[in-house]
Amino acid sequence: MEILGIILVFAGASIGALFAIIILGRAFQQSFAWGFGCLLVPFMLFVFVMMNWEETRRPFLLFLLAIPISVVGAILARG
């Protein structure tokens, strides 16, 4: 079960990183300032998502899906 846990943690982290990069790309498409701000300012990415919900809803929800996958993986990996 430990190997399955490690795989799930890696999968969750990969999914989260992928969709964070997609949201970041959309921020840069809107303006350089938004993209740069999302890179450097903590929680600016979440502000961008809230202000552009229609455009970023799906990638953000898939980003959130990565959290339970990683948590389950971490629980299994400790086992």
As a whole number of angstroms, the distance between CA 4 and CA 72 comes to 10
Q: pLDDT of 15-41, one tens digit each?
A: 999 999 999 999 999 999 999 999 999
As a whole number of angstroms, the distance between CA 9 and CA 77 comes to 8
- What is the model's pLDDT at position 57? 96
What angle, rounded to 10 degrees, do the helices at 2-30 and 32-40 form?
150
For the chain, the domain total comes to 1
Between vectors from CA 72 to CA 68 and to CA 22, what angle results, nearest 5°? 40
As a whole number of angstroms, the distance between CA 36 and CA 44 comes to 10
The proportion of the chain whose per-residue pLDDT surpasses 90, expressed as a percent, equals 95
Query: Which domain covers residue 73, as residue numbers?
Result: 2-78
- What is the model's pLDDT at position 62? 95
As a whole number of angstroms, the distance between CA 9 and CA 58 comes to 21
